[in-house]
Structure 1
Amino acid sequence: MEPGKAGVGKRIAKGSRRAARVAKPSRSAKRTTPAAKAARPKLSSGDLSHSLGYRIRRAQLWVFKDVSRRLAAFDISPAQFSVLSLIEANPGVNQLAIAQSLSIERAGLGRLVDHLERRGLVQRSASAINRRYYVLYLTEAGTALLARLRPAIAESEKTLAAKIGPRAFSELQRALSVFLQDP
């Protein structure tokens, strides 16, 4: 084969590979049909269903799914709501204190605060007491949004109370309050 033609063959092969890639479905495309989902067997939880930890985790998943769905209309996650709430209750709080209180890694909280700051919901400034820390304040927009989010959270709690009953909801609140002070 002539030296000049070898390169042409490679270009054609590369081009055909590119065309093949384009033909693949995107990762965001649905992979299963609704009928295929319905055909999936429901797994037994076995002994897990007797475990209190498993039940608490299932309840937490249910609550987070409901809260996430309600907050999605505001483009806010449950973690972002928590951060906004702590900043409102503790104006001028440093990021480290919030990270510790919510058990969020500092780097993760930094990204979360960056996002809230870009949206104009949080103001971050260097601490006058310790310049290694940033302190956080809600902006007017952050305060206004938080006021709009609270009814969505209240509706989620009403839904949970309806699911388990008002008395069980009250008892659950009281029983779980022991963990509010634990790290």
Structure 2
Amino acid sequence: MPIKPEDAGALPKFTGSLVRRAQQRHAAVWLSEVSAEITSVQYAALEVLHETPGVSQRQLGDKLDVDRSTIADLVARMVRNGQIERADDPVDKRSYVLYLTAAGKKQLAALRPRVEQVERILTERLTASELAQLRRLLAALLPPQA
């Protein structure tokens, strides 16, 4: 049963509580509409590699805003699952560059409409102006990207 605003107590005044609840709703909708096997971060990695093939593992981590060990684990899992391939960076032999495999491209194409459905479900009660404002305000909460 949803909590009525008058019954919510002090929690709605805390931004973190609202962000956490919104994230929980996103996770639940993701599971029901997209996949229990592919996380939203894995999907974001597929999108980044589609847009910028050949980025380094470090650049991918920066774009996804995850730390070095997390991106290393994520890349290793996606390589094992056949979604991406790793190659030596021709400029910096200490680094890898990453590409989508044919299977990764196919999976991205299959997932994209489902991810768009998650977006529609999460934002269906907002006007276009409210959605733009929400995105702008959420982005303002994040640290600037270098």
TM range (shorter): 0.7 to 0.9
5+ residue gaps, structure 2, are: 1-6
Q: What displacement does 1:182 show?
A: 2.2
Q: Taking CA–CA contacts closer than 8 Å with sequence separation of 6 or more, which of the two structures ends up with the larger relative contact order?
A: 2
Question: Are 1:161 and 2:123 an aligned pair?
Answer: yes
Please point out which of 64, 67, 74 is paired with 1:102: 64
Partner of 2:14: 51
Instruction: Give the aligned partner of residue 91 of structure 2.
Output: 129
Q: Which residue of 2 aligns with 1:34?
A: none
Equivalent of residue 67 in structure 1, options 30, 48, 53: 30
- The answer for the alignment partner of 1:77 in structure 2 is 39
1:125 CA displacement: 0.7
Q: Distance in 2 between matches of 1:140 and 1:179?
A: 36
CA distance in 2, matches of 1:154, 1:81: 12
Q: Secondary structure at the match of 1:46?
A: coil
C-alpha distance in 2 between matches for 1:167 and 1:59: 19
Alpha-carbon RMSD across the aligned residues, in angstroms, is 2.4
Percent of aligned positions with the same letter in both sequences? 30
TM-score by length of 2: 0.81
1:114 Cα shift? 1.4
Paired positions, count: 140
In 2, Cα distance between equivalents of 1:104 and 1:177:
16
Give secondary structure in 2 for the equivalent of 1:123: strand
Against the structure 1 CA distance between its residues 179 and 82, is the aligned structure 2 distance closer, same or farther, given a 3 Å change threshold?
A: farther
Of residues 149, 158, 171, the one that matches 2:111 is 149
Give 1:78 deviation, angstroms: 0.9
Separation of aligned partners in 1, 2:107 and 2:132? 28
Residue identity matched to 1:113: V
Is the deviation greater in 143-152 or in 59-68? Answer: 59-68
Q: Structure 1 residues 179 and 46 mapped into 2: Cα distance closer, same or farther (>3 Å)?
A: closer
Q: Report deviation, 1:79.
A: 1.2
Q: Corresponding residue for 1:31?
A: none
Q: Which runs of 5+ in 1 are unaligned?
A: 1-43
Cα displacement (A) at 1:54: 2.2
Q: Shift of residue 65 of structure 1? A: 2.3
Judge conservation of contact 1:68–1:78 (CA < 8 Å) in 2.
no
Q: Which has the larger radius of gyration?
A: 1
Alpha-carbon distance, 1:138 to partner? 0.4
Q: How far apart in 1 are the matches of 2:19 and 2:40? A: 18
